[in-house]
């Protein structure tokens, strides 16, 4: 008999965890599982990319689907009510929107794990998926709530060893519950998609690229400052390409910053790209400027296309790059990013060495092996 599995997530925006979940749902064995997906907000670029075999439940409409004014305000109020009502009354949620007979329930992002802990289904196996360093500033407000919910999980998946360690630093007795499962990287699929023709890319080398949601913790502001400093010093002229969308206030701040620094001609915010790989392929260097990270799917994708990687010192990327073996790991600061770009651009031997090693770096993340590990943890009875 198939296992009835419920995955829960906040939205389907263009983030790494959301992308990983969609990839998982496309590759999981439907002969073994009856898959259900509960999404809090019907919002994000991956809403229309879900497999037909998945039974999808949206708890509320996305805010971006409604134009401004009173309608958007009323929608905000309605969605706020939905979230708080269902969280305070999980028995109503599971009787009205969700079924009452799931075998397995998965909180696929750390901020959803408390919702899984509140499930009224006593018999279900509960799994918490942690994509981020629990001790990062980004999770400061939610940390205690997440850690408390992790206590109630039957199994915990950490996307890197350093994420696992961040949990154990707070809850060492949970060690036996935690399994490290890396995000899968389909190198052949990335290479295939990278060959797609693009029309909005006519920049001269050298080109530095970064890809990720426009959120403060991603550090785009520091990357732009580092870029401006390098341009000002005239040592390493280059174009900076930023792919992604996200927080509107932060995006406005970035545009203002670009204008104030006078780098509008060399910094290019190209928005979210459903297929970012042709842009990544055409770039010369990839930079991850994050203040904090979990696994960092995009670093692995850059390695798949043999791009020299410069990353700030954060948990997942350090592990991915094996502390500098497969890419340049720099101080987590504007100066660190600036020095890293400069060093990479001026040291062709270093670039060649990283490109030579890049294929080895992602051998641990083959989809077949990763999906098998996930299926086993869903099947296993604790």
Rounded Cα distance, 182 and 142, in Å: 23
The SS3 of residue 170 is helix
Q: Give the pLDDT mean for 271-287.
A: 96
Q: What percent of the chain has pLDDT over 90?
A: 73
Count CB neighbours of 270 within 10 A.
Answer: 17
For residues 212 and 153, membership in a common domain is answered with no
Q: Residue 248 above 90 pLDDT?
A: no
Relative to beta strand 104-107, strand 3-9 is parallel
Which run of H or E residues covers position 26? Answer: helix 16-27
Q: Which of 54-63, 91-100, 120-129 has the highest mean pLDDT?
A: 120-129
Q: CA dist 337 to 209, 235, 255, Å?
A: 13, 15, 20
Rounded Cα distance, 249 and 364, in Å: 38
5, two tokens:
């599995």
| Count: domains in the chain | 2
For residues 60 and 42, membership in a common domain is answered with yes
**For the residues of 3-19, what is the DSSP string, one character each?**
EEEEEEES---SSHHHH
pLDDT tens digits along 27-37: 999 999 999 99
> What is the greatest pairwise CA distance in the chain?
66
Q: CA dist 325 to 105, 306, 335, 345, Å?
A: 38, 14, 21, 18
CATH code, domain carrying 317: 3.40.50.2000
For residues 202 and 345, membership in a common domain is answered with yes
**pLDDT confidence bin for 225, thresholds 50/70/90:** very high
How confident is the model at residue 13, as a pLDDT?
83
For residues 257 and 291, membership in a common domain is answered with yes
74, two tokens:
């009323």
Rounded Cα distance, 353 and 355, in Å: 5
How confident is the model at residue 313, as a pLDDT?
94
For residues 149 and 241, membership in a common domain is answered with no
294 near 316, Cβ under 8 Å? yes
229, two tokens:
């400093």
Strand partners, 35: 5
Rounded Cα distance, 351 and 345, in Å: 8
For residues 143 and 15, membership in a common domain is answered with yes
For residues 246 and 174, membership in a common domain is answered with no
109 near 183, Cβ under 8 Å? no
Look at residues 301, 347, 299, 340 and name the one whose alpha carbon lies nearest to residue 322. Answer: 299
Q: Residue 71 above 70 pLDDT?
A: no
For residues 163 and 46, membership in a common domain is answered with yes
For residues 49 and 167, membership in a common domain is answered with yes
For residues 262 and 152, membership in a common domain is answered with no
274, two tokens:
């459903």
For residues 370 and 340, membership in a common domain is answered with no
Terminal-residue alpha carbon distance, the chain? 18
Rounded Cα distance, 66 and 352, in Å: 49
Rounded Cα distance, 98 and 89, in Å: 12
What DSSP designation does 310 have? E
Q: Is 27 exposed, middle or buried (CB count within 10 Å of its CB: 0-12, 13-18, 19+)?
A: middle
pLDDT tens digits along 324-339: 999 999 999 999 999 9
**pLDDT confidence bin for 67, thresholds 50/70/90:** very low
Comparing 223 with 293, the larger pLDDT belongs to: 223
Q: Where does 283-364 have alpha helices with state H?
A: 297-304, 315-320, 334-346, 348-361
323 near 265, Cβ under 8 Å? no
Q: CA dist 83 to 11, 39, 115, 304, 348, Å?
A: 12, 11, 10, 39, 52
Relative to beta strand 239-243, strand 309-312 is unpaired
37 near 9, Cβ under 8 Å? yes
Q: Residue 179 above 50 pLDDT?
A: yes
Domain encompassing residue 290: 187-365
Q: Give the pLDDT mean for 8-35.
A: 92
**For the residues of 198-263, what is the DSSP string, one character each?**
-SS--PPSSEEEEES-B-GGG-HHHHHHHHHHHHHHTSS--EEEEE--B-HHHHHHHHHHHHHHT-
Q: Residue 66 above 50 pLDDT?
A: no
Q: Give the pLDDT mean for 351-368.
A: 91
Rounded Cα distance, 150 and 36, in Å: 22
How confident is the model at residue 275, as a pLDDT?
94
What DSSP designation does 197 have? -
Q: Give the pLDDT mean for 294-304.
A: 92
User: Considering the chain, what is the average pLDDT of its residues?
Assistant: 91
The SS3 of residue 104 is strand
201, two tokens:
């890319």
For residues 141 and 248, membership in a common domain is answered with no
How confident is the model at residue 136, as a pLDDT?
83
């Amino acid at each position: 008999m198939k296992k009835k599995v419920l995955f829960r997530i906040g939205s389907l925006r263009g983030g790494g965890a959301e992308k990983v979940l969609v990839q998982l749902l496309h590759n999981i064995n439907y002969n073994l599982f009856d898959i259900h997906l509960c999404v809090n907000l019907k919002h994000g670029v991956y809403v229309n990319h879900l497999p037909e075999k998945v039974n999808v439940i949206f708890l509320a409409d996305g805010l971006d689907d409604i134009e401004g004014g009173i309608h958007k305000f009323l929608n905000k109020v309605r969605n706020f009510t939905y979230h708080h009502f269902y969280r305070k009354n999980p028995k109503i949620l599971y009787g009205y929107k969700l079924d009452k007979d799931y075998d397995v329930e998965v909180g696929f992002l750390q901020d959803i794990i408390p919702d899984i802990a509140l499930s009224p289904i006593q018999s279900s196996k509960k799994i918490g998926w942690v994509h981020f360093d629990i001790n990062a500033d980004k999770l400061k407000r939610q940390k205690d709530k997440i850690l408390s919910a992790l206590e109630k999980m039957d199994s915990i998946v950490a996307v890197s060893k350093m994420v696992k360690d961040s949990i154990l630093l707070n809850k060492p007795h949970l060690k036996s519950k935690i399994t490290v499962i890396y995000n899968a990287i389909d190198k052949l699929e990335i290479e295939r998609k990278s060959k797609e023709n693009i029309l909005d890319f006519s920049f001269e080398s050298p080109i530095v690229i970064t890809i990720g949601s426009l959120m403060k913790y991603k550090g785009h502001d520091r990357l732009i400052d580092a870029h401006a400093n390098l341009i000002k010093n005239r040592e390493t002229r280059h174009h900076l390409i930023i792919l992604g969308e996200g927080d509107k206030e932060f995006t406005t701040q970035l545009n203002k910053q670009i204008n104030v620094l006078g780098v509008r001609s060399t910094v290019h915010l190209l928005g979210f790209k459903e297929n970012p790989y042709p842009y990544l392929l055409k770039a010369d260097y990839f930079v991850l400027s994050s203040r904090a990270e979990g696994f960092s799917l995009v670093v692995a994708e850059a390695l798949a296309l043999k791009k020299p990687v410069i990353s700030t010192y954060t948990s997942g990327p350090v592990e991915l790059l094996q502390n500098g073996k497969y890419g340049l790991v720099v101080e987590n600061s504007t100066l660190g990013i600036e020095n890293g770009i400069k060093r990479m651009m001026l040291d062709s031997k270093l670039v060649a060495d990283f490109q030579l090693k890049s294929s080895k770096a992602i051998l641990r993340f083959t989809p077949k092996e990763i999906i098998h590990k996930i299926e086993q943890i869903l099947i296993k009875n604790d």
